[in-house]
Amino acid sequence: MQTVIQYFVILPIVGFIMSVLLPRKKENLISKLSIYLVGAHFISAVFFVGYWLFNGHPTIDFKNLVLFKSTGYEFFIDFCFDKITVVYMLVGSFLTFLVTIYCSYYLHREDGYKRFFNTIMFFYMGYNITVLSGNLETLFVGWEILGISSFLLIAFYRDRYLPVKNAFKVFSIYRLGDVGLILAMWACHHLFHENITFFQLQNDLLVSHHLENHSFIGIFVAVMILITAAAKSAQLPFSSWLPRAMEGPTPSSAIFYGSLSVHLGVFLMLRTYELWEHQISVRVLIFLLGLTTSIIATGIARVQSSIKAQIAYASISQIGLIFIELSFGLEILALVHFAGNAFLRTYQLLVSPSTVSYLIREQFYNFVPRPTSIEDSFSKKVKYTFYILCVREFNIDTLIYWLWRPLIVIGRSLNFVNAKNVLFYFIPLYFIGLILLFNEQYIPTGIHEILPTLFSFIGFVMVLKSYTERKNVQLAWILIIMNHFWIALAISFNEHYIYTQSLLYLSGIIVMGLVGYFTLRKLKAAENHVDLNTFNGHSYEHPKFAFVFLLSCLGLTGFPITPTFIGEDIIFTHIHENQIALAFFTSSSLIIDGIAAIRIYSRVFLGPHVKTNHESAFKSS
């Protein structure tokens, strides 16, 4: 059985690699590869599930690959197959199969035909890794793939302003949610003193023993997981990103934001159910979150003028109800509800273009207004207030903006972090830190305890300035690289930390940082002027530069293509449970550096081209 489960992961990876290698002009070959591969995956899954059920449907968990091992720590890829995996894998493979067939006709002669199918296969690879994951580390691999594929699908029409802007907004909210997952993994390392698997969580004695002695850490882990799930499943206060994500092609909206990706927050809650099932306060919080989201999203859906936005908010409302079901411990009902909502929203989104034309004819000839509605039972003041709030979408976007604005204001005020000061002050300061590191036995205890947090804070300042930099592209890129070096220095002051682990962490940063830097230099030499004030759209004339720089951004953000991904997990194992400030600055730096890197990519290579001789769409189109 273990071999077959590995096949379910390997097949989408092989399919993605093959789709990348196919010629751009071979539309029929590109679509047929995706259709046959996903179809084979679905049929194989159906037969395997039948065999699994016939043999008593056991929970299958196995360690697949150990990527790194040291004293007291092991980073390994683990896979788990149970009823949750079965439902998500069957629904995902069947709907992806249908959507790939639909796309082969829907996107015929589209300029980005190959790019779209590549991204769909990339998404499918990440989705299968996620639903088959057996621990948080493996899940995070798939989670990161889903995040970047989401960004690429929303920004599919990359020569337009709104798709690129909304893609970056969605990616930013995803990264904010990732803070919760990173901190949950950090706290779990201290709670269980090992890389815990989901199968081990099913051991009630093990979980209850650790939670009884560390109840606060248990609540912290549960709340962090809930924040991550809420961001991924567009629950309050993150609900506004889902309708903005509909800027992508209709098939990607159907597969991503109607059915599969948007329900992965529910998957995370199901996978970690044993961690929070006995914490009444957390279950009440989940119930209130789901109830509030359902009520507000239902009202907003009823006043939307766009059919895709209406479907988006309707889906958010249903996911809120699934959260309520989870708070009551109704796992089976939640799985059935997920499958039903996924099929319904996929169908609604795929037929939405036809539905619009149908409804236009219907309102002219057969429209009959509804005689009464539930709002008629309210007073006029309440009814009109609720209506205006729904039209304004409860100012959710404004709320997120004001939560994020303090960081933007602080970043823009950091004028002292410029190219000159970085060269003459911050780089020498870093070398002073290295000297202190190799002579730390002479540092007084009080100062030694402050240094990790201080150095991590300096890295946080670096990446905050990079995020708000508007003029110097190369400076913004260098600041992201320096952030990682400051983090490595900060963690190096903690005990039992081996310097080779810092080298593992920084190896990917150095390589990808240099590749990205020289790509920017070559682009600047070709175009004379590149800044971050607006979208430049240079992918139109320099697609190879755009692709190489995107890979550099992924490497710098800890995407699983370099050893940095493993290194990020390692450094968190060396942050002690009482070093909350260090954990906060380190996790925030790692999250914001991903947003800052993708911001540079978006501003430099996406959007309408800066040269007026190229045709560009209106901002509102």
Q: Using alpha carbons only, how large is the chain's radius of gyration in Å?
A: 25
Query: Given a cut of 60, is residue 621 above it in pLDDT?
Result: no
pLDDT at 364: 59
Instruction: Express each pLDDT in 106-122 by its tens digit.
Output: 888 878 889 999 999 99
Q: What percent of the chain clears pLDDT 90, i.e. is strictly above it?
A: 35
pLDDT at 274: 87
Most confident of 123-132, 205-214, 497-506: 123-132
Instruction: Express each pLDDT in 518-543 by its tens digit.
Output: 999 999 988 888 888 888 888 888 98
102-108 contacts at long range (C-beta below 8 A, 24 or more positions apart): 102/251, 102/350, 103/31, 103/249, 103/251, 104/27, 104/31, 104/32, 104/34, 104/35, 106/249, 106/250, 106/251, 107/249, 107/251, 108/27
Segment 607-613 shows an average pLDDT of 79
Mean pLDDT over each residue of the chain, to the nearest integer: 87
pLDDT at 110: 79
pLDDT at 341: 92
pLDDT at 50: 93
Domain spans of the chain, in order of start: 2-359, 414-605
Segment 231-242 shows an average pLDDT of 88
Of 122-126, 205-209, 570-574, which gets the smallest average pLDDT? 205-209
In what helix (H) or strand (E) does residue 327 lie, and over which residues does it extend? Answer: helix 307-327
pLDDT at 618: 64
Residue type, 234: A
Most confident of 389-398, 456-465, 560-569: 456-465
Q: What percent of the chain clears pLDDT 70, i.e. is strictly above it?
A: 95
Of 210-219, 289-298, 380-389, 430-439, which gets the smallest average pLDDT? 210-219
pLDDT at 537: 87
pLDDT at 458: 93
Of 362-366, 414-418, 428-432, which gets the smallest average pLDDT? 362-366
125-130 contacts at long range (C-beta below 8 A, 24 or more positions apart): 125/12, 125/13, 125/15, 125/16, 127/92, 127/96, 127/260, 127/261, 128/8, 128/9, 128/12, 128/41, 128/89, 128/92, 129/9, 130/264, 130/267
The pTM (predicted TM-score) of the whole model is: 0.91
Instruction: Express each pLDDT in 75-94 by its tens digit.
Output: 888 899 999 999 999 999 99
Segment 369-388 shows an average pLDDT of 77
pLDDT at 497: 59
Q: Which residues contact 351 (CB under 8 A, 6 or more apart)?
A: none
pLDDT at 352: 78
In sign, the C-alpha dihedral spanning 231, 234, 240, 246 is: positive
Segment 376-402 shows an average pLDDT of 83
Q: pLDDT category, 123, cuts 50, 70, 90?
A: very high
Of residues 353 and 571, which shows the higher confidence score? 571
Query: Given a cut of 70, is residue 366 above it in pLDDT?
Result: no
Segment 383-405 shows an average pLDDT of 84
Query: Given a cut of 80, is residue 211 above it in pLDDT?
Result: no
pLDDT at 360: 61
Q: pLDDT category, 293, cuts 50, 70, 90?
A: very high
pLDDT at 620: 52
Cβ-based burial of 281 (10 A; exposed 0-12, middle 13-18, buried ≥19): exposed
